[in-house]
Amino acid sequence: MAQRSNQSQPGGPRSEKDADLSKRRLKVIPPSILQRVEIENLNLDRNKLKSINDISKLQNLKSLILSKNELTTFPQEIASLPALEKLYLNQNSIAQVDEGIFTCLPLLKLLRLSNNRLMDLPSDLSTCRELQYINLSHNLLQKIPEAVLKLNKLEEFYVENNKLRELPAALFENEGLRKFNASKNRLRAPPDEVCAGGLRHIRSYFKQLMTGANREDKRIKTMFLGTSMAGKSTLSRSLSAREVVEVSEGDRTVGIEINEFEIEDFSFLCWDFAGQHEYYLTHHVFITRQALVILVIDLHKYEVGNKCVFKELVGFWVNNIFMRVPDSVVLPVGTHVDLCDEEEMRTKKKDIEVKIREMLTERQENLEQRLEKINKKSHCEFYSDQANKLQELAKYNLQVLDLIPIDCTQYTDINNVRKQILQSVRNEDIFPNAVRMLPSTYTAVEKAIAQLVQQQEIPEHGILSYEELKDKLSNFNEEHLEHILSYLHRIGLILWYQDIKALKSTLFIKPAFLITLFKMIVRHDLLDQLQSIPSKVLKKHWANVPDKNKWVFDFRTKATLHDKAIAMLVKFEVLGNASLQEIANEMIGDETEKGKLFDILENFDICLPSKSISLNPDAKEFKPGSPWNQLNNTRSLTYLFPSYLSDTKEVDAKWGEDSEEDLRVQIFFLPEIPQGFFHRVIIKLCDFIQSHWVGKERCLVVCSGWKLLLKEHNEEANSYIEIRCKAKEGEQNDFSDRWCRITMAIHFIKKVVDQWPGLHYCLKTPCRNPGCDNHFDWPDLDEKDEDIELGAEDNIKTCDKCGTDFRTELLFCTSKAKGTSNNHLKVAELKVPNKVEGCGVLVIGDATVNITKQEFND
């Protein structure tokens, strides 16, 4: 499903047949180029072309790159290039392609038209019988163009982020199609959760549709969010029970609670999330796209005009919903109206609705202002990737419905919520894919599993192997069964983490049990839980009170949990339940082998395992495609939970003072840095570089003697992560190695940003004049995400505010700044691992880090 392919990449060896005129701000093609009839590869990327007159003179042209220009129509002149094999027209403003052009391109193999305004393609595209690669992502397609279905040699096809509702079965009858992506569409057939499994799952879906009956699936994932004690559990349970269910403070949700209810012909799978911020770290794992979010707000606690109260009860949740699931629908429900008089309730309701609208309007205006600022830059073509991302973010429309005030003790109010929910999901403008088409086998498998649970043929905890479940469901086709179970995982009915090696064969038929395990470790009262472990439990598992005291001390002062402490917490919670005790042992492991629970915690970046291992100077360099043996199942002694850290003393002492010689970059976020974001950045970075020190809102890593510091600043209208790299003694002019470390950190941050599709970020370098508070905006990174895009003449940058000139390599990572590197850190295709173990030479994908020196801390 990866979008990049070798054949989709511009560039290559340069010769007399190649001409690179990218980033020249050209408005016309130079006559001197048009006279070079021998040219086969012409790169006009990032210019200001609105037309390509006389290009027909280049009859030998095989590759033409016109991406990131100002074309509003598909150039007719392209029809005069019969030898053309590769055509890049992405990131323009093309709305239509006229009939008759593609007929003249019989040799065309690659067509890239992403990031335009296309609603369809002409029928003569089918005459390009050699086409192997088409990218139509980020357009306005409402259906797959008919001509595409006739391209028998098509191997890669990308249509993500369009307006598609259905995919044609005929597209997948082409067995040669090996890469396909239709994400970020609101598909009802096949559903997004099927497409997420890839081509095998999509083909299986259509095969089952053709061989049997099908049905409409009307199930909505519903998430209850809001602060603690706002009434989420009361509302969720009352909706499910169809009567008022009172929930005491002692019975409030810890972690996540799952239940299901029905309203007429719709089914709602409810996830009730605990309100304390400590739990939000795990919420991120389970919050999914295109959901109904019921935001529960305590109206009694709400204060009109109090910004802090609005942010705590409303703003924090709306922002984080927008950043994580920007295409969701939010239904605000105001509770505890029985403690407010009628006028107070109406005033608070109106104030909340007005402020939410202001939040959404402000966000939209900020995006538009940023886009306008980019378009006004003298070299705006160097910022086109950022402009496209801003345009994409501006298209997201988080729908926030009118607030419903209720008294949770009155079922008439609960029923009003039911009616509003049903009215919303029936509205196709609000929920365009609420009704999805599924083969009958999907429903049959779901019912068969429910029957196994009812007949107690599945253990109480609901955990069993894939082989066990396959045997119990032997009447279903094995291949189809695998795909159906993957679908049930993606909609949240079961949990099956196939991408975690240790859990590939383990299914959680009852997700609530896994949530229960999470509750035991990630909770607001974790310190109290540790202290309450009784002596008899300690003795039974070869521990004592001094051990417990050390666990408590280390967690309070270092935010670390010993593996044995985690085991004690789990075993203490399941005490007295023989069935749960048995599976708990498997989940937490033993002295020699870590359990599956730790694999889950590590995979979702909830904690950072620490190990005492030695450098291996004889470690062989890893090469893609070659085996790489890692001790993945080695048990860690302690686990760090960065969000629980309370000071920065250790990091500050190791880093020392900031220096004017430091290279600095600041990454700004809009609307703010999401809850748990920096936590995940720290874990990914420290998992990659083993010499690290972590404190509250900061992290220091040391790689080959280079110190790299990350600091989080999360203030209103000023949310950013600062990256600093300190110069080595006597090597102040070695910018290459320092920029390598900084771009590595940026890469990890970008990987985490991908988990928040509604989050905007931009890179800036502070002016190096100590008395100036101005910033230099980073242009786009290049195709390999290594260097920024700059024109050849940009060797000096002048601050707009203080007028000081700086060499470019002091401000940005450029090819010149990195031209003299000895310790090579290539980040071109860096694949951020969940776990990297081993020292010496670390290689991941195309990324190589030669670590000649590391410092280890206890």
Rounded Cα–Cα distance for residues 511 and 764 (Å) = 43
Question: 297 and 154 in one domain?
Answer: no
Of 144 and 284, the structure prediction assigns the larger pLDDT to 144
Highest mean pLDDT of the ranges 268-277, 598-607, 790-799: 598-607
pLDDT band of 636, cuts 50, 70, 90: low
Q: pLDDT value at position 789?
A: 61
Question: 560 and 480 in one domain?
Answer: no
Of 120 and 244, the structure prediction assigns the larger pLDDT to 120
Contact at 8 Å (CB) between 95 and 75? no
Nearest Cα residue to 702 out of 737, 666, 732, 665: 737
Rounded Cα–Cα distance for residues 258 and 239 (Å) = 13
- Least confident among 178-187, 248-257, 371-380, 468-477: 248-257
Which residue segment(s) compose the domain that 458 sits in? 440-513
Question: 805 and 660 in one domain?
Answer: yes
- Least confident among 376-390, 573-587, 639-653: 573-587
Q: How far is CA 746 from the centre of its chain?
A: 15
Question: 554 and 507 in one domain?
Answer: no
The total of structural domains in the chain comes to 5
Q: pLDDT value at position 188?
A: 92
In this structure, what token pair is assigned to residue 629? 């043996």
32-71 pLDDT per residue, tens: 999 999 999 999 999 999 999 999 999 999 999 999 999 9
Question: 88 and 146 in one domain?
Answer: yes
The last residue of a domain, from among 513, 540, 572: 513
Looking at every residue in the chain, the average pLDDT score rounds to 85
Question: 579 and 489 in one domain?
Answer: no
Half-sphere exposure of 267 (CA within 13 A, CB side): 10
Q: pLDDT value at position 856?
A: 37
pLDDT band of 77, cuts 50, 70, 90: very high
Rounded Cα–Cα distance for residues 682 and 689 (Å) = 10
Q: What is the pTM of this model?
A: 0.84
Q: 151 to each of 78, 175, 439, how far by Cα in Å?
A: 20, 12, 27
Question: 586 and 502 in one domain?
Answer: no
Question: 401 and 292 in one domain?
Answer: yes
Question: 461 and 528 in one domain?
Answer: no
170-219 pLDDT per residue, tens: 999 999 999 999 998 989 999 999 999 999 999 999 999 988 778 889 98
Residue 308 belongs to domain with CATH number: 3.40.50.300
Question: 502 and 572 in one domain?
Answer: no
Q: pLDDT value at position 245?
A: 86
Question: 446 and 478 in one domain?
Answer: yes
Bridge partners (DSSP) listed for residue 760:
670
Bridge partners (DSSP) listed for residue 609:
639
The last residue of a domain, from among 458, 485, 513: 513
Instruction: Report yes or no on 637 lying in a domain.
Output: no
Question: 503 and 415 in one domain?
Answer: no
Instruction: Report yes or no on 473 lying in a domain.
Output: yes
Q: pLDDT value at position 516?
A: 74
